[in-house]
Chains A and B, each alone.
Chain A
């Protein structure tokens, strides 16, 4: 019996089982990712010459290059996203270190839940919460007046820093989780050994901890960067009219202007941008995408 399982009908049956197991993922991938993107690619590469008459053209992409507002927004979005990722990493790393290495038992799960709690409310409500705190008549400006720090309420919304704060807050969990798992797997005796051999805090961080946690850092950074770059609500609400976020441009093209061709081109450019930056980041830090994604 056992020998027969390996013969041809058995093998084809197991291949069918594999296919069935993969089917939901494949439907998801093809139906929701590949097909829309193919459609977008076609859309972005055509121009309307007469009603219902289209021809192949690079007009949309030319508009992007010719119109400074578009590519300024593009660069600005990328820079703020990178900045937000760096800030998230800087704040999440000590937190992850504490959760992975110092906290024990209950304290540890409580801390994890604390990271999770912001996600129990929807992004809209969370962002509106920030607005209530930060707007001119909000909690924080009033507190500053009451404490005598500022003579009159200050408008804290609609600055780049506000966008940054909102983005970092939203991204925290996605950085903490891969970092905790990366740091947990670090053997404490490695740190002790380095200390014993004459290392100090900074050199141990640089030579032992960061290299060990590098795949976790890269995984967290990629996820946070992608989420930030593609975020629409937080920059729009906290940045107001001045937010100049690239996803907002895409939204405007599709919904306000009804210029689907332009919107599709922007969408494609965003995809290329994020891929390029992630690739550059991995190259700069000497990481491999496969290894990074396997880690957490």
Chain B
């Protein structure tokens, strides 16, 4: 498959700090690729190097197979949707969308008809003469995307464009963005610190931390088979237990925390007895029961006391303190409503299969 974007061992340093460290990635034509990372991980720097606002110290960016070394942003087949959209307030919607076409020297009539067609496609027909401040947040978003897509770029870069929207609109725009991308078939490279945006929208996600990619894969791979502790902790909610490896039994490690809680989890990478390790267990992997007999037979079993109930509709969870060690474990409540009457301080049993928890050697990156 043709690669629309290839980043080849790109490095960017600011003084002694390496912000982007020999990163490589390739994005297939027509796919939705996200770079997910906490703020300050270097994702914006990477995006700006692709857009051409920054020059890499080392390495090369190729777009559609062409090296972009020394090519200015206004000559790259790439357009960017900015964090705060950067719509031109001094122009109408039509002038905003037509700006790039006018800069390419197209005839006025041609610009007009292309702008009309593009506004129609993003669901804003007839908005040409509106002022930017007359648009709602979602409409601005669509104008910003239309302004870039009307130029038919090989690649559309999006720099956390949903960050400024309120929660409800953000959920809505997520779906719209995905549909727009599917409609246009343009390759999208999207950066965000919001894992839900990355998981919902993307075909592939790169999890970035401290200038490097921790893991690149489909959202499902990142969620179910994290390869590093960072990914396990960053993508989705997770219970983290740190301790040392007391026993290694094939690919299952028994971890004992400082408080003495022993759990078994699947080892990721080589782990020896005595190693400092950390295990991650997802809240929805843990089964909850009022008495231990209801738990699946294969699960390792614990008992605990309900601490707090975190009701959040379908995402409801409960914080349980393990009986002996007082370790706090987050457990997702099943959506059957079976535990709707659960009260604080109730004694419960919980358990999970070792195969569904993952254990890494602490400090190392597990690779």
A in complex with B: yes
* Stretch with Cβ within 8 A of A (4 or more), from B98-106, B215-223, B301-309, B327-335: B98-106
A187-232 interface (Cβ within 8 A of B): 187, 189-190, 192-200, 203, 207-208, 211-212
Q: In the complex, what residue of chain B is closest to A190 when comparing beta carbons?
A: B86
How far, in angstroms, from A190 to B87 measured CA to CA in the complex? 7
How far, in angstroms, from A200 to B99 measured CA to CA in the complex? 12
The residue from B72, B83, B84, B103 contacting A197, defined by CB atoms under 8 A apart: B103
Contact with A along B78-91 (1 / 0, CB 8 A): 11101110111111
| B147 contacts chain A at the CB level, 8 A cutoff | yes
Contacts of B325 in A (CB 8 A): none
CB distance from B155 to the nearest CB of A (A): 12
Given contacts A187-B84, A189-B84, contact A198 B100 (CB under 8 A): yes
B86 and A198 form a contact (CB under 8 A) = no
The residue from A189, A198, A212 contacting B90, defined by CB atoms under 8 A apart: A212
Contacts of A193 in B (CB 8 A): 80, 82, 86-88
How far, in angstroms, from A190 to B73 measured CA to CA in the complex? 14
B90 and A197 form a contact (CB under 8 A) = no
Contacts of A196 in B (CB 8 A): 51, 53, 73-74, 78-80
How far, in angstroms, from A198 to B79 measured CA to CA in the complex? 9
How far, in angstroms, from A200 to B86 measured CA to CA in the complex? 17
B74 and A192 form a contact (CB under 8 A) = no
A199 and B99 form a contact (CB under 8 A) = yes
Contacts of A203 in B (CB 8 A): 103
The residue from B74, B80, B84, B89 contacting A198, defined by CB atoms under 8 A apart: B74
CB distance from A196 to the nearest CB of B (A): 5
CB distance from B87 to the nearest CB of A (A): 8
B53-71 interface (Cβ within 8 A of A): 53
| B180 contacts chain A at the CB level, 8 A cutoff | no
B53 and A197 form a contact (CB under 8 A) = no
A190 and B88 form a contact (CB under 8 A) = yes
Given contacts A189-B84, A196-B80, contact A208 B90 (CB under 8 A): yes
Contacts of B147 in A (CB 8 A): 197
A198 and B151 form a contact (CB under 8 A) = yes
Q: In the complex, what residue of chain B is closest to A210 when comparing beta carbons?
A: B90
Contact with B along A25-48 (1 / 0, CB 8 A): 000000000000000000000000
How far, in angstroms, from A285 to B87 measured CA to CA in the complex? 23
| B192 contacts chain A at the CB level, 8 A cutoff | no
| B148 contacts chain A at the CB level, 8 A cutoff | yes
B177-218 interface (Cβ within 8 A of A): none
Contacts of A189 in B (CB 8 A): 82-84, 86
How far, in angstroms, from A200 to B75 measured CA to CA in the complex? 10
CB distance from A101 to the nearest CB of B (A): 15
B88 and A194 form a contact (CB under 8 A) = yes
B104 and A211 form a contact (CB under 8 A) = no
How far, in angstroms, from A190 to B90 measured CA to CA in the complex? 11
How far, in angstroms, from A193 to B86 measured CA to CA in the complex? 6
Given contacts A190-B88, A211-B90, contact A197 B99 (CB under 8 A): yes
Contacts of A200 in B (CB 8 A): 74, 103
How far, in angstroms, from A199 to B105 measured CA to CA in the complex? 11
Contact with B along A88-131 (1 / 0, CB 8 A): 00000000000000000000000000000000000000000000
CB distance from A145 to the nearest CB of B (A): 48
CB distance from B55 to the nearest CB of A (A): 15
Q: In the complex, what residue of chain B is closest to A208 when comparing beta carbons?
A: B88
CB distance from A180 to the nearest CB of B (A): 19
B128-147 interface (Cβ within 8 A of A): 147
Q: In the complex, what residue of chain B is closest to A191 when comparing beta carbons?
A: B86
Contacts of A195 in B (CB 8 A): 72-74
Contacts of B51 in A (CB 8 A): 196
A199 and B103 form a contact (CB under 8 A) = yes
How far, in angstroms, from A192 to B51 measured CA to CA in the complex? 10
B82 and A198 form a contact (CB under 8 A) = no
Q: In the complex, what residue of chain B is closest to A197 when comparing beta carbons?
A: B100
CB distance from A189 to the nearest CB of B (A): 4
CB distance from A135 to the nearest CB of B (A): 48
Contacts of A192 in B (CB 8 A): 53, 73, 80, 82, 86
A150-194 interface (Cβ within 8 A of B): 187, 189-190, 192-194
Contact with B along A216-253 (1 / 0, CB 8 A): 00000000000000000000000000000000000000
Contacts of B72 in A (CB 8 A): 195
How far, in angstroms, from A187 to B84 measured CA to CA in the complex? 10
Q: In the complex, what residue of chain B is closest to A192 when comparing beta carbons?
A: B53
Looking at B51, B74, B80, the one whose CB has the most chain A CB atoms below 10 A away is B74
Contacts of B91 in A (CB 8 A): 207
How far, in angstroms, from A192 to B44 measured CA to CA in the complex? 14
How far, in angstroms, from A193 to B79 measured CA to CA in the complex? 9
Contacts of A211 in B (CB 8 A): 90
How far, in angstroms, from A96 to B104 measured CA to CA in the complex? 30
How far, in angstroms, from A201 to B147 measured CA to CA in the complex? 19
CB distance from A42 to the nearest CB of B (A): 47
Starting from the known contacts A199-B103, A207-B90, 11 additional A-B residue pairs (CB-CB under 8 Å) come to: A187-B84, A189-B84, A190-B88, A196-B53, A196-B78, A196-B80, A197-B148, A197-B151, A198-B74, A198-B103, A200-B103
23 pairs, A vs B, C-beta closer than 8 Å: A189-B84, A190-B88, A192-B53, A192-B80, A193-B80, A193-B88, A194-B88, A194-B99, A195-B72, A195-B74, A196-B73, A196-B78, A197-B74, A197-B99, A197-B100, A197-B103, A197-B147, A199-B99, A199-B103, A207-B90, A207-B91, A207-B99, A208-B88
5 nearest A-B pairs in the assembled complex, by CB-CB distance: A193-B86, A198-B103, A197-B100, A211-B90, A189-B86
